[in-house]
């Protein structure tokens, strides 16, 4: 068996939701055992992003400017022009991904990093987003430790029993109904 076959995500943790009417922001915090410089490289370098993120970048996210992001694992190809609005290495990274604002903060913590992600997500999908990012962070941690298991995103992530459990756990933590993801996703596709 490979490390990927042994992978099971841990319990839902390190997440909260900030609610402002219909606009909800997902905040995820993860403590990593790696330096802010190493984490920054994984957040900004296209080769590193290909190993863990739910998108690919055609250039570095480490400088202010325009980059194209291509969503991975989506039923239909989705490419968006992204504007990196802030890149203060290795502390703060801000850009938009489609209609989602993304803010990453890296704080030195002992010999490691406290990584915080703020992203706005449609409230109907916020527990699903938390479950997906949880798995991305797990994959990122393994990549940084030199034990990559490969990106697990989109429908592939949803097939993991751990993803479904995380979706339910995060929904409970956020005080929302657990989304019925197949019908929610189908309904979302029809509305676009």
Is the confidence at residue 134, as pLDDT, over 90? yes
pTM: 0.90
pLDDT tens digits, 35-94: 999 999 999 999 999 999 999 999 999 999 999 999 998 777 889 999 999 999 999 999
- Local structure of 47: helix, strand or coil: helix
HEC secondary structure over 78-103:
CEEEEEEEEEECCCEEEEEECCEEEE
The DSSP element (H or E) to which 66 belongs, if any, is: strand 65-71
Closest CA to 71 of 190, 151, 135, 154: 154
């Amino acid at each position: 068996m490979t490390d990927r076959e042994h992978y099971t995500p841990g319990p839902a943790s390190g997440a909260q939701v900030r609610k402002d009417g219909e606009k909800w922001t997902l905040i995820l915090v993860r403590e990593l055992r790696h330096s802010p410089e190493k984490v920054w490289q994984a957040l900004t370098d296209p080769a590193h992003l290909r190993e863990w993120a739910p998108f690919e970048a055609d250039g570095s996210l480490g400088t202010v400017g325009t980059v194209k992001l291509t969503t991975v694992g989506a039923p239909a190809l989705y490419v968006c022009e992204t504007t990196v609005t802030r890149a203060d290495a290795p502390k703060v990274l801000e850009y938009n991904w489609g209609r989602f604002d993304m803010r990453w903060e890296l704080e030195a913590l002992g010999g490691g990093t406290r990584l915080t992600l703020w992203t706005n997500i449609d409230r109907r999908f916020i527990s699903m987003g938390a479950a997906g990012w949880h798995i991305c962070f797990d994959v990122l941690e393994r990549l940084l430790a030199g034990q990559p298991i490969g990106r697990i995103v989109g429908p592939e992530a949803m097939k993991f029993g751990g993803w479904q459990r995380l979706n339910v756990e995060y929904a409970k933590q956020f005080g929302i109904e657990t989304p019925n993801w197949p019908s929610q996703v189908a309904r979302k596709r029809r509305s676009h």
